[in-house]
Each structure stands twice: as C-alpha cells, then as structure tokens.
Amino acid sequence: MLADAKPDGRAGLRPLVSVRGLSKKFSNGTLALRDVDLDLFPGEFVSLLGPSGCGKSTLLKLISGLSEPSSGAVEWPGAEEHGAQKWEPVLRNTMRENKESEHGFDSIKTKRALGADAYGRPEHALGFVFQEPTLMPWATSLENVTLPLRLKSMAKSEAEARAAGMLALVGLKGFEKSYPRELSGGMKMRVSIARALVTEPKVLLMDEPFAALDEITRHKLNDDVLMLWQRNQFTAVFVTHSVFESVYLSERIVVMAARPGRVMSTLTVDAPFPRDDVFRTSAAYARLCQLGSEALKEAINA
Amino acid sequence: MSALGTRGTDQEAAPVFTREARVFGLSPERWAGILAPLAVGVVILGGWEALVRLRNIPDYLFPGPVVIIRTLVTDWGTLSGALLITLRITFAALIAAVSLGVVLAILFTQSKWLERSLFPYAVILQVTPVVAIAPLIIILVGDVNLSLLICAWLVAFFPILSNTILGLNSADHNLIALFQLYGASRWQTLRFLKLPAALPYFLGGLKISGGLALIGAVVAEFVAGSGGSASGLAYRILESGYQLKIPRMFAALLMISMTGIAIFLATSWLSHRLLHRWHESALKREI
C-alpha cells in the first residue's frame, strides 16, 4: 500500500514538469534546497511534506518561476513537445524584453500559435494558491477571480461569466459582489482557489493554503480541492506540514528534510478516489498516517 | 455539478451586517459627533461675547462675535472678492500638487535611480520655509499671481508625493508575485495593483495638502503684500490692520478658517466615498 519508491505505473509516461538537480542558495548563504529531483506527471496529486525550513515553499516558488534556481533546472517536457523551449523564469523582466527584440515579433507569434506563451511556458499552465488568501481588498470576489483572465486580455463579459462559474463551483454563488472583508477566512480561501483555477491551469501549486483555518473548515476545503481536482484533472502540488492532510489528499507524498532542504523519501498512497469521511475514519487511513508520521520523524531526525 | 454544501462551515461564519437606528437620517453616534463640538462652540462664543460686553471692551481692541458677523455681512462685497482670489490660488496650487505629486511618485517607483537622484531635492523644497523663499520667487518670477501659485504649490506638493510613493510601494508582495505569474505588464501592475493600493495613502496626503495649499496661499499673499482690487484675504487682513478696522480683520480671519474647514470636510468626504467599501480606516470596529 505504501512504497518507498518511484511512482509505479507511470514509468512510461512523460512528466509534465521535470525538476532536475535543483539547488537554491539564498543571498544570506542559507542552502534552502540541495539537489532536488522531482517529476510531476499529468493529473497526479502530490504533497510536499516536511518540517518548517525544509524548503518546500521554496521548491514551489522555483517550480512556478517566481524564484530562480542557483543550479539545476525546472523543465516542461510537455511544452517542448509543442515546439517551445525550456521556459525562462517570469521574474527576469529585462532579459525577457531583450529576448523579444532578438527573436523578432514573428518567432513569438509562431510560438504563441503552438500553445505556449512568448517565453516558452505553456499557456495557462500554472495556478498558485498562497498561504494567505492574497485577495485585492478593493475588489469584489468576482473582480478578484476575473483578474487572471483580464491580465490575459480576455474580454470583460466573457471573463466575468467564467469567473462567476468558478465562484459557483467553489460554493460561493451569491457572494460575487462581496468584498474580501465581508467574507470569513475559509470563504476568502475559496475565492483564492477559484482565482487560481479560473484559467484552467495544468498545474495547481498550493502553499499550505489551509494552515490558518479551523479544522472543520479545513476538512471541508480538503474535500472541495479533491472534488475540483477530479473534475478538472489538473496536476496538484500541495505543500503541507500535516501528515493527515497529505495522506488524505495525495497519491504521492514527497517527504522532505531540512538543513539543507532535500527530498528524503517518496510514499505512494494508493487508496482509491473519491475519498471521503469513510476513508478519513478507516483503519487503512490510520495506518497510512502512521507510516507517514514515521517517514516524517525520520526526515526530522535526519 | 453538485454545488458544494455550506452547512456547518465557514459560510455560516460570514459576518452579519446590522442596520442601526437613525435620527433624521444620521445614526445617534453621528449626531453626538456633531452636537458635542457644537455645544463647546456655543459656550466659547457666548463667553467671548459676554466678556466683551461686560467689560466694555471697544471694537477696535477686541470685537465680540456679533460685531464680527455684522462686519462680515456689511463688508461681504470686498471680502468675498478677496476670498475668491485666495480660493483660486489655493485650488490651482492643489491641482498642480496632486498632478505633479502623483506623476512624480509613479516615475520614482518605476525607476529607483530617478527616485534616488531627485527625492533629496523634493525634501529640500519641503524643509525650506515658504516665508523665506517667497520673496525670492516673487522677484524671480515677476508675475504676482504665478509667484503665489508657486509658493502655495511648494507647500502642498510634498505630502502628496511622499504619501503616494509610500502607497505605491506598499502593495502586497504576494499579489505582486501573482501578477508576475500571470505575466502582467508594468502598466497592468500599476493600473490594477499599485494605484488601488496607493489610494488610501494618497487620500491621506490630499487631506494634509488641502489645508497646506490654503496656508501656503495666505502666507505668500502676506509676503507679496500686493494691494489693489486683485488681492486676496491675507492682504485684506494686512490692510485692515493698518486702518485699525479690527472687526474686518477678524471677519477675514474667520473666512480663512471656514475655508480651511470646508476643504478638510471635502477631502474627508472624498476619502470616505472612495474607501468605505474596503479599507480598514473607513470601517467601524465591532467589539
């Protein structure tokens, strides 16, 4: 049921995202990540589990391109298939602009036509849910969820229709005109999830999204995330420090250790989906949690 | 698609907004906020009038409120013309301060080098007393009205600039990351993130600058001391002082104060209109 090995059955499959020898050293000298290898396969649910300071959030930032690796690379083999190159981190604004002028407008256009944006990254590939809801306080729920589409220059009416549909899907129908301050913590997080999913990303990155919520709300949101994952079939990467949460949600748990941040072991959770309260109270779940706790303890003492 | 249920979860924890009782369209709390300072004003004015009458203090030494109001009415022709001139300079200076302050703040936050090279000079302009440079400006510029405008602008400009810079830099870092993730252009980030985030700070600066523009205009008028029909309230005060028309001096002073209060109320109202849906400063705290 639980294996300390590479994900089986996916050996022949081409990973969507491929992390190779990734290291990250902060400017203050801390080695946040050392030599991390990780493949993310289309449609799987992976949790990054580890004690604080093990670099799981850093890894997520590197995958998203919000942060640049000191060495190693994040590759999108799926994107290469469509004629796009290894994608450049989004942060390097100036470099990007130089690139554009070098290649000329035409080459950008052709890449666009092949399903990738001008920088080689597959279009609408990423959604990101932060630890905090990170909503714009001056905008209504609907305006917040519409934002990613508006930034992609989608027409307002179409963007709003899609955003409204996404809000309904996360259970917030009727709250379109509410401002973030009028919503509870769990509802704000739902708006944040709706915003991340409104572009229909291939990969959804979640950075301890429910850590600040009470247990009842957290369980509810875990169920909702699983429902959305099964419905939209994106690849989910979920950062958490809770063994219970990671076992409940994922197919694969990547256990990480701190100082320096590195991958300790990989556990496969092959309980069937959909998972619900029956699974949460089953003996199998308890046993999986115990194994997960042992792996985590090992990582902490390593 | 089965909608997600809401029972027993966060939706039930959504805040409930209650309507409170209103008297003539305002809540009791608002009435208290209006009536309390009004009562203090009545007591002070009554005491002042009583003092002047009981002690028989002559008008040319210290006029009572009644005489001042009467002068205001009889001299309304001259005084209102002067008020209009002062107001024109005040608002022109405020508009110039807002447009230049906001544009410079945006430029400064787009380029760190521009900020580093120019901001110290903005500080020098701010810390130099306007009374000290006003004569210089009047000599250099020549045109009196333009000199007055520049003086008033100098005083009003800095709060807008520094507050807007602070606001533009205070956008949530995770939101900035989110904009980067979606490949937002500089313009989009400015338009959808930085400018709305800066709005409360800008409005705070505007509240200060509104009053300062008036003060700047009055101070500059004092320094210029130009007479004639096209002179503002400050010159009327000077003139009345020379002619020992003390009640008129007080009346002009009253007009300046009232103008300042009106500007403060207008900027406060604007701030409330723009922020009351979302900003913490405009929210009532439930305890």
Could you read off the pLDDT of A145-155 as tens digits, one per residue?
999 999 988 99
pLDDT at A300: 87
Asked whether the predicted pLDDT for residue A123 surpasses 60, the reply is no
Contact (CB<8Å) B10/A185: yes
Question: DSSP characters for chain A?
Answer: ---SSSPTT-TTSPPSEEEEEEEEE-TTS-EEEEEEEEEE-TT-EEEEE--TTSSHHHHHHHHHTSS--SEEEEE-HHHHHTT--SPPPTT-HHHHHHHHHHHHHHHHHHHHHTTB-TTSPBTT-EEEE-SS----TTS-HHHHHHHHHHHTT--HHHHHHHHHHHHHHTT-TT-TT--GGGS-HHHHHHHHHHHHHTT--SEEEEESTTTTS-HHHHHHHHHHHHHHHHHH--EEEEEES-HHHHHHH-SEEEEEETTTTEEEEEEE--PPSSP-HHHHTSHHHHHHHHHHHHHHHHHHH-
Residue B71 near residue B247 (C-beta atoms within 8 A): yes
pLDDT at B30: 83
Contact (CB<8Å) B3/A168: yes
CA distance to partner chain B, nearest, from residue A185 (Å): 7
pLDDT at A164: 95
- Tens of pLDDT, residues B108-123: 999 889 988 988 998 8
Buried b (16+ CB within 10 A) or exposed e, A174-198: ebbebbbebbbbbbbbbbbbbbbbb
- What is d(CA B209, CA B263) in angstroms, rounded to the nearest whole number? 10
Residues of B in Cβ contact (< 8 Å) with A231:
1
- Tens of pLDDT, residues A225-255: 999 999 988 999 999 989 999 999 999 999 9
At residue A196, φ and ψ (nearest 5 deg) are -70, -30
Which pairing describes strands A262-268 and A45-49: parallel, antiparallel, or unpaired? unpaired
- Tens of pLDDT, residues B164-197: 999 999 999 999 999 999 989 999 999 999 999 9
- What is d(CA B190, CA B109) in angstroms, rounded to the nearest whole number? 10
Which amino acid does the sequence have at B175?
Answer: L
- Mean pLDDT computed over A207-222: 90
Residues of A in Cβ contact (< 8 Å) with B175:
134, 136
Dihedral angle over CA of A148, A151, A153, A159, nearest 10: 30
- Tens of pLDDT, residues A74-102: 888 865 554 444 444 443 333 333 333 33
Tokens representing A85 are 């190159």
> Cβ of A186 under 8 Å from any chain B Cβ?
yes
Dihedral angle over CA of A89, A94, A97, A101, nearest 10: -120
Asked whether the predicted pLDDT for residue B56 surpasses 50, the reply is yes
Closest Cα partner for A270 from A244, A252, A290, A254?
A252
SS3 category, B200? helix
Residues of B in Cβ contact (< 8 Å) with A90:
180-181, 183
- What is d(CA A256, CA A265) in angstroms, rounded to the nearest whole number? 7
* Residue the block writes with tokens 């949600």: A249
- What is d(CA B248, CA B254) in angstroms, rounded to the nearest whole number? 10
pLDDT at A96: 37
- What is d(CA B106, CA B169) in angstroms, rounded to the nearest whole number? 10
Closest Cα partner for B103 from B204, B185, B214, B202?
B202
- Tens of pLDDT, residues A270-287: 888 888 888 888 888 999
Residue A206 near residue A228 (C-beta atoms within 8 A): no
Beta bridge partners of A204: A127, A236
pLDDT at B26: 79
Residue A253 near residue A298 (C-beta atoms within 8 A): no
CA distance to partner chain A, nearest, from residue B33 (Å): 26
Tokens representing B8 are 């027993």
Strand runs (DSSP E) across B122-161, as ranges? none
Tokens representing B79 are 């005084």
- What is d(CA B150, CA A16) in angstroms, rounded to the nearest whole number? 62
Asked whether the predicted pLDDT for residue B12 surpasses 80, the reply is no
Which pairing describes strands A203-207 and A235-240: parallel, antiparallel, or unpaired? parallel
In this complex, the residue of A91, A130, A169 whose CB is nearest that of residue B180 is: A91
How buried is residue A158: exposed, middle or buried, by Cβ count under 10 Å (0-12/13-18/19+)? Answer: exposed
pTM for the model: 0.81
Asked whether the predicted pLDDT for residue B251 surpasses 90, the reply is yes
Residues of A in Cβ contact (< 8 Å) with B188:
151
Q: Is the dihedral of CA A7, A12, A17, A20 positive or negative?
A: positive
pLDDT > 70 in chain B, percent: 89
- What is d(CA B185, CA A43) in angstroms, rounded to the nearest whole number? 30
Which amino acid does the sequence have at A29?
Answer: G
Closest CA in chain A for residue B1: A169
- What is d(CA A293, CA A299) in angstroms, rounded to the nearest whole number? 10
pLDDT at A78: 65
> Cβ of A100 under 8 Å from any chain B Cβ?
no
* Residue the block writes with tokens 């666009």: A112
In this complex, the residue of B1, B13, B188 whose CB is nearest that of residue A151 is: B188
Dihedral angle over CA of A215, A217, A221, A223, nearest 10: 70
Which amino acid does the sequence have at A96?
Answer: R
